[in-house]
Chain A
Amino acid sequence: MDFDFSPEQLAVRDLARELFEKESPPSRLRELWSGAERDRSVWKALGQAGLLEITDPVDLVLVLEEAGRAALPEPIAETLAIAAPVLAEAGSDWVPRVASGEAIVAVQLGGAPFVVDAGDADLLLLERDGELHALPHDAFTATPVQSDDKARRLYAVNAHTGSETRIAGDAGVALDRGAAAVAAVLNGISMRMLEMTLEHVKTREQFGKPVGSFQAVKHKLASAHVRVESARAAAWYAAFAIGAGLPDRSLAASVAKVVAAEAEAIANAEALQCHGGIGFTWEHDLHMWMKRGKALEASFGTAAEHRARVAAHVLSEQADA
């Protein structure tokens, strides 16, 4: 038993971290917040670095944590965790274009009302009546919807599906993959919010002392750290279970989403509380992570929906026993 990452996997994580810092710094997030157009060069850079060729969920999970840490405004979870495996299994000729970063794919599953990045997508993967469809950009229209997180571009989609757009694949499995991937992104967001907060409370002084020396503040951050660490383990396990095709992969995905969303909600609350008034301003970067976190709490199934799935597992397992 070895529940850790290989040096190669850690090297890919480091590469992702550097690349996200270079290609997608907070200043670019701010530009997107001010309405700047999407810049395809970022997605292409990810493709050139080989990050969009990752197929193993365990290889991917640390990259997704980094995407969260950077609040990367790109559909990396949707593309790599959901679209790429679905297209590969269906034998689609889109696979190389996705892997190279030439194509952007948007994903709509589980009756989600809005689709991230659909307006820029070359391909839309969507679920209708439990079946998967892949639509090139001329087969759907995407109308922008104002979102809370202005770097997360949402669209209402009008799509014409038919037998010609249908592709093989299991929408339930795709949703599990999405939930597990978003859990990893959420964990990265939580980590970054805690990092920012630690930096702040170590330097910000009140009553002649760093705020971080007060026990009330320490306990808030320790509590958040505890929950984030166990959520990371859950997302890693879900990635392993999905990659290995284990029977508990669906349960593991729901668990990962539940604990990641719960941990992120705590980290989100405590990060703002410990920043105090400074954190409540748009001038401070924190809110961009808080808003991404809040948005992703409901992405690919809310925590409540996934708790219900876990409970169904507990209660039905007993009926079988």
Chain B
Amino acid sequence: MDLRYTDEQEAFRAEVRAWLRAHVPKERLPTVGTREGFDAHRAWEQELGRAGYGALHWPVEYGGRGADVVMTAIFEEEYAIIEGPPRITVLGRNLMGPTLMVHGTPEQKDRWLSRILSADDIWSQGFSEPDAGSDLAGLKTRAVRDGEDFIVDGQKIWTSYGTFSDWIFALVRTDPEAPRHAGITFLAIDMRSPGVEARPLVQVDGRAGFAEVFFTDVRVPATQVIGEVNRGWDVAMATLGFERDAPSAPAGRFERDVAELGSIARALGRDSDAGVRDTIGSLYAQALAYRWHTMRTLTRLARGERIGPEGSVTKVLWSELERDTFAAGRELLGPYGEVLSDEAPQTDPLRWHSKYWFSRAATIYAGTSEIQRNIIAERVLGLPRK
């Protein structure tokens, strides 16, 4: 056991920190729910890409830096601590890119990988449907072969960045007669194709971050099938595996957020309240325990091991820590919690307000806590499925 970072890693941290301090926009970017905001975020991501920070963990042959998981985690942590803008490239970078590297044809890789890296193509993920969220295999969007194309009809929902994204990787049903998992195909669809309509959905946090996406007779070339027709479930499982193995929520973020609870307590004159201190102590302890848990995971990934179903432990930990931290903040703010202006005696009530509401999504997206617990129970603890 040796928890020191190498000189090279420390130097990389210093480099990243200095670069981010100099370049992260001082003013918060406008919301991604508007065209202007989305373009501003894209421009920021393009700047990151030009500086070599687009996708550190991608292999050099695909334009990445071939950074190992520790360096990638260092970057993610520094990015989180300085509160860089949300990464609208996350789905392309962490899910579609790695999926293409494994399942894409040479033409598909040439066509898309470098554009993901440069943020010229922003991808969204078309897995969820109104009747198929956690029950992913219940999806109904259909794709019917017509010559060299597929004709796609159906609807996706809760599509992050879906309103203005350039591409969507979607699961579509290509064989309605086959068993649920056997008739699904993984398809890349150009969001500018005729018949694609993305409508922004206003979220509970008041922002228009995600969308519902409608497909009406959308013509998609069969060359945009990733993997084999009717074998999309396997590709999707690989994609979700990349999600599990991707650097998870960096711990530094939670330490910062709990420390900010301390600032709020101080501003409200409640920092000597025993109950408040107990909550802060518990949350900070959990945040540090999460940090050390992720070091365990990083050690395994650095050795080339896959994380597999144990990744669900990490997801439950960070999503519930996020939820609990902001719930504690909301409670601490008391009557100031509902005020959407600068009336509250702390630095940035609006930020805390929107983060509180967004934290309520943490236990839903990327696999609900209930699904994660089923995975842990059945695949880690070995409990019977039925």
Contact = CB atoms under 8 A, between A and B. Distances in A.
Given A202-B384, A308-B277, A310-B284, A4 B299 contact: yes
Interface stretch (A36-44, A75-83, A127-135, A311-319): A311-319
Interface string B286-310: 1011101101101110100000000
A225 B381 contact: yes
Interface stretch (A17-25, A90-98, A139-147, A216-224): A216-224
Query: Which range contains the number of B residues in contact with the other chain?
Result: 35 or more
B184 to A, nearest CB: 25
Contacts of B373: 218-219, 222-223
Contacts of B2: 1-2
B27 interface: no
A212 B383 contact: yes
A316 to B, nearest CB: 9
B328 to A, nearest CB: 12
Interface in B304-343: 313, 316-317
B1 A226 contact: no
B386 interface: yes
A318 B263 contact: yes
B321 to A, nearest CB: 9
B289 A231 contact: yes
Interface string B174-199: 00000000000000000000000000
Given A230-B293, A234-B289, A315-B262, A1 B383 contact: no
A208 to B, nearest CB: 11
Contact of B295 (A3, A210, A229, A252): A3
A5 B277 CA distance: 35
A311 B299 contact: no
Q: Which of B9, B281, B300 has the most CB of A within 10 A?
A: B281
A58 interface: yes
A236 interface: yes
B278 interface: yes
Contacts of B111: none
Interface SS majority for chain B? helix
Interface stretch (A156-164, A253-261, A279-287, A288-296): A253-261
Contact of A229 (B1, B293, B374, B385): B293
B282 A230 contact: no
B377 A237 contact: no
A313 B287 CA distance: 14
B382 interface: yes
Contacts of A307: 277-278, 281-282, 285
Interface string B1-35: 11111100100000000000000000000000000
Counting from the closest, the 5 A-B pairs by CB-CB distance are A307-B281, A218-B377, A311-B281, A222-B373, A222-B376
Interface of B: 1-6, 9, 70, 258-259, 262-263, 265-266, 271, 274, 277-278, 280-282, 284-286, 288-290, 292-293, 295-296, 298-300, 302, 313, 316-317, 370, 372-374, 376-378, 380-386
Given A221-B383, A230-B292, A306-B281, 15 more contacts: A1-B2, A58-B1, A213-B386, A222-B381, A233-B296, A234-B292, A237-B288, A252-B288, A255-B284, A256-B289, A259-B285, A310-B284, A312-B277, A315-B280, A318-B259
Interface of A: 1-6, 9, 58, 194, 198, 201-202, 209-210, 212-213, 215, 217-219, 221-223, 225-226, 229-231, 233-234, 236-237, 240, 244, 251-252, 254-256, 258-259, 262, 304, 306-315, 317-318
26 contacts: A1-B298, A2-B1, A2-B3, A2-B299, A3-B296, A4-B1, A9-B1, A202-B382, A209-B386, A215-B370, A223-B316, A223-B373, A233-B289, A234-B288, A236-B1, A237-B292, A255-B284, A255-B288, A308-B277, A309-B281, A310-B280, A311-B277, A311-B278, A314-B259, A314-B262, A315-B266
